[in-house]
Each structure stands twice: as C-alpha cells, then as structure tokens.
Chains A and B, each alone.
Chain A
Amino acid sequence: MTAISLKNLDISYGPTKVVEAASFDVAEGESFALVGESGSGKSTILKAIAGLAPDWTGEITVLGQPRGHSVDHGFASRCQMVFQDPYGSLHPRKSVDRVLSEPLKIHGISNRDARVEDMLAAVGLDRRFRFRYPHQLSGGQRQRVAIARALMLEPKVMLLDEPTSALDVSVQAEILNLLKKLRREQGLTYLMVTHNLPVVSFMCDRMAVMHKGRIVEIAPASALHDGRFQDPYTQSLYAASGGNPDRKD
C-alpha cells in the first residue's frame, strides 16, 4: 500500500502559487526525501499534508484515505510532523510531561503515565527529564522531545522538516541514528525535507528534487554515489554540495 500519494498538487499562499503540479507516491515503510533550496516549496508540501497550508488543490492521500481541507482528528493519529527548530517548536511554559500527555488527553487515551514513561525511554531520554521545561534542555534533547511528542499517538507516517539542521554534527548523528532506529522498530514511513544531501544518503531510499515550486527529478538515493542525475539543476545542486569526495575515478 502507498503511505502517501500526491496527485497534481498545487499549493498557494494567497495569490502566490508556491507549489505546482506536485505528484509522487511514497510506499509504506519507505523513507523519502524532498530536497531543494530555500523557497523551492519543499516545506510547504509537508505543511499541506499536515493541514497547516489549507489553500491547495489536487489530491492528497495518506494510507489510502483522502485528506480533506479541514482539521481531521483521526488524521493526527496516523500522520505527525516534526519541525525544524527544536528551540521554537516546544511550548516554553509546558513541561516535557505535559507536552507528551496532551495528545493522549485530546484523543482520550488512558494509561498516560506509563505511555509517557515508555516513550521517553524509546527516544533515549532519562526519566529525570520528564518534569523539566524546554529551557532546561539542550538542542538535541529538545529534538528528542519533539520526536517523542510526534510519536505519542503511534502514527505510521512521519513528516520530518529538516529535523537536524539546527543541531551540531555530533548531535545530528545521534538524532539521525534515533530516527533510523525508530523507523526500523515501529515500521514507520518517513517523508523528510532537507537540503543536506549526505543526510539523504544516510537516511533515505529515494528523493525528489524541487526547484521553484516544481519537482524536477525523482531519483534513488544511490544516485548520490556517482552523481548520475538527469536534470541540470540537480547536477548543479550536487556539485555545490561538494560531489562525492570518497569516489576515486
């Protein structure tokens, strides 16, 4: 079954059209990347799927069910989003415990105490962090909390918007390892936005390259090994990222 399917998706902010005719399918259990420079519309696609950019036309289907334009309670338990900046995405006056139990409360799920405890362990946070506030955590710990929050309702599809670009390389490695482990253990599907091509090589199976609101190419991540891309824009993006210095030929 396809986890995410987009057909002819146009997204606008007011009179400006930012994404035009985007179509792709992500299989269940796959990890798919959207790459491109700022302003290319990659984050906007995630927002439209999550319901944060309601001005779209076309078709969005998640796990076989079409997505409507309004707020969808059931959708939240199937698909969740992790945002770029862990410094901005957590409520400064809510403790980790409150952030994690809120989705459970809204969806009327019981046994909250144990679920919060289990989730903290799953994302590699010690129990003593449970009653802390975001300002008492480091960037990497905050991003772990943000990932934990997204996973509380046990969704099958995760939308990741540059989950590591605000973090140091050593912390980035920890978070990428965590995301990979969670995907393996819980059979998640990832749709990930990034501008960092080596991260795509580590995390993803396929990638769509966006330029000025259009998808110019869909390629397997293995194309990053030798730079075999069709589109001239993708080739220039690959060259600007430094190509593959490990390759000897």
Chain B
Amino acid sequence: MSQSPLLELENLRVSFPTPKGRVEVVKGLSFTLGRERLGIVGESGSGKSMTGRAILRLVRRPGQQDADKMTFDGIDLRRLSERRMRDLRGARISMIMQDPKFSLNPVMTIGEQIAEALRTHERLARRDVQARVLQMLEAVRINDPKRVMALYPHEVSGGMGQRIMIAMMLIPRPDLLIADEPTSALDVSVQAQVLDLIDELVRDKGMGLILISHDLNLVARYCDRILVMHAGQVVESCAASELHNATHPYTRGLLAAVPRMEETREELPVLDRSAWSGT
C-alpha cells in the first residue's frame, strides 16, 4: 500500500450560470484523502453532492468545474481525456447514488447489470463473470443469489436494491468509493445493515471511502474524519470522535437541532442563519 495520498484536491470550484451571472456552489474546497473514511455533511444546497460528482468529473454542462490540483493516485484528473476518465470511473473510483429505484436499469435483470459493470472493465470468460457476480451478491449478504440474479429491479425491496447497487459498484474492485446519501431512501432498520456492510467491505479491501450525508450522527458513527460544509465551503474539519466538541457555530447549531432519544428540551434551538453569513 502506497503512503502517498489516494486523492488530493486543491481549490475545487463548481459553478453554474444564472441570469445574474455565474453562481459558485462549491467555493474553493481542498482536502487530501488516504485510505480512510471521510464524511462530508451539510444541508441541502451546501455543495456536498456536487463535490462528490466533481471528483468523478460528472458535473453536467452548463455547470463548470475547476481546480488547482485534482490528483487520484498520482493521476492528474483534470488533464485526463473523457475516454480515459471513463475507464477510471467504476473501475477505480465508483459512486453509490441515493435511490436504487432510479439508479438501476428497469429493463435488465440484476445479474446482467452487475455482469455488465464487471465486463466493461475486465475481460473475463463468461463462466468467471458468473462466478464473480454470485460471489459479490453473497458478499452483500443476499440470500439465494441465483434466484435474485434473474429478477428485475422492481421485484426487489429498497434495501435489497441498495445492496445490489453496492455489489455493482464494488465488483470491479475500486480503490475509492463515494457514497452519496446511500441510505436516505431506506428504513432505519435497513439503514444500519447497509452501512455496516459498506463499512466492512471498505475495511477488508483497504479502500478509501467518502460518505456524503446530511445526518451528522450517522456520519460520526461510520467515518474517521468529518468535513462540515455550508454554502459551498468547508466550515469545520475534525475527527469523527471530536464532533461533539465542534467549535463552529454552524456545526454546533446543526448538532443542537437534532432531537435526542431522551428529549427534555421544550423547544429545539433553531439555526440563526445571519450569525455566520459573513464568514
């Protein structure tokens, strides 16, 4: 395992044109990631999902992205041709999207879709492909994988769909996994299972993980390090275990606004958005 960082980002900017000029949704984001678990938290519109997409150069036009440095394992992502970029996506960096219902192809069986993900990146005999798919479905703890392979996405539940997505994303054995709200479409009881599974696979294979979520407590449970984003900027960066000692008023406000299991407060504190708009 190399000691150099897996991903280095410096001054990442993403902007969209509007009638009033270009609006920056990510304003100069920098971080380095080793083989560790990084959490990015923030509210809707804070630019956290755009950051995830920008790493894969998936910001659609008319959006524009720009960075002073964006290297993945020594490869400069900014200069890569679209074709080389496509080879990299999925094979070395892959992304789990929010809702399995919209990310799976409804007219292909689950087995075919997972096999396609593998065949795009590796040349393998048909029998080997089948074996790898079966093995992967077992790894994401799907009972009776043979039967599930023949099913279509509408025939499986949400939690199972998300596990299939994970299988599809992990089958080419990527080095970096970006998970964008992987469980927000799922029930609490299934949420924990899916995250435990991602966690286990990431640890076993020594991958890097970027977990994007709006749920502070969830990120604190599953990551080593946390970046808190607000309005396109990182307002706070800390170790996950130190989250409850966060100092920035925005982070503190977010933490306080979450109801607790043993709630004694008569009223929840509300963020005063004017307090840090200058920063």
Closest residue to A203 on the B side, CB-wise?
Answer: B259
Main secondary structure of the interface of A (DSSP, over half): helix
Of A169, A173, A242, most buried by chain B (CB within 10 Å of CB) is A169
Contact B189 A244 (CB under 8 A): no
Bitwise, B230-273 to A at CB < 8 A (1) or not (0) is 00000000000000000000000110011111110111111100
Chain A residues numbered 132-186 whose CB sits less than 8 Å from any CB in chain B: 139, 168-174, 176-177, 180
Q: How far is the CA of A168 from the CA of B213 in the complex (A)?
A: 11
Question: Is A21 part of the contact surface with B, judged by Cβ < 8 Å?
Answer: no
Q: Which of B187, B260, B266 contacts A37 (CB 8 A)?
A: B187
Contact B261 A170 (CB under 8 A): no
Q: Which of A169, A172, A246 contacts B261 (CB 8 A)?
A: A246
- For A177, list chain B residues within 8 Å (CB): 267-268, 270
Q: Which of A171, A174, A199, A225 contacts B259 (CB 8 A)?
A: A199
Question: Is B7 part of the contact surface with A, judged by Cβ < 8 Å?
Answer: no
Report the contact-size class of chain A (Cβ under 8 Å from the partner). Answer: 20 to 34
- For B269, list chain A residues within 8 Å (CB): 173
Name the segment of A6-14, A99-107, A112-120, A233-241 touching the other chain. Answer: A233-241
Question: Is A90 part of the contact surface with B, judged by Cβ < 8 Å?
Answer: no
Q: How far is the CA of A246 from the CA of B188 in the complex (A)?
A: 19
CB of B21, distance to nearest CB on chain A (Å): 21
**How many A-B residue contacts, CB cutoff 8 Å?**
89
Question: Is A245 part of the contact surface with B, judged by Cβ < 8 Å?
Answer: yes
Contact B268 A37 (CB under 8 A): no
Question: Is A198 part of the contact surface with B, judged by Cβ < 8 Å?
Answer: yes
Closest residue to B214 on the A side, CB-wise?
Answer: A168
Question: Is A76 part of the contact surface with B, judged by Cβ < 8 Å?
Answer: no
Report the contact-size class of chain B (Cβ under 8 Å from the partner). Answer: 20 to 34
Q: Tell whether A169 pairs with B258 under 8 Å between CB atoms, given A177-B268, A177-B270.
A: yes
Contact B261 A225 (CB under 8 A): yes
Q: How far is the CA of A177 from the CA of B216 in the complex (A)?
A: 20
Contact B270 A170 (CB under 8 A): yes
Q: How far is the CA of A170 from the CA of B215 in the complex (A)?
A: 11
Contact A243 B254 (CB under 8 A): no
Contact A242 B262 (CB under 8 A): no
Q: How far is the CA of A236 from the CA of B258 in the complex (A)?
A: 22
Contact B259 A244 (CB under 8 A): no
Contact A240 B267 (CB under 8 A): no
Contact A37 B189 (CB under 8 A): yes
Contact A198 B270 (CB under 8 A): no
Contact B44 A241 (CB under 8 A): no
CB of A195, distance to nearest CB on chain B (Å): 6
- For A174, list chain B residues within 8 Å (CB): 270
Contact B260 A198 (CB under 8 A): yes
Contact B263 A169 (CB under 8 A): no
Chain B interface residues (CB < 8 Å from chain A): 43-44, 158, 187-192, 214-217, 221, 253-254, 257-263, 265-271
Can you show 26 pairs from A to B with CB atoms below 8 A apart?
Answer: A37-B189, A38-B158, A169-B216, A170-B254, A170-B270, A171-B43, A172-B257, A173-B258, A173-B268, A174-B270, A176-B268, A177-B268, A195-B187, A195-B188, A197-B261, A201-B261, A201-B262, A202-B260, A202-B268, A241-B261, A243-B261, A244-B260, A244-B261, A244-B262, A245-B217, A247-B261
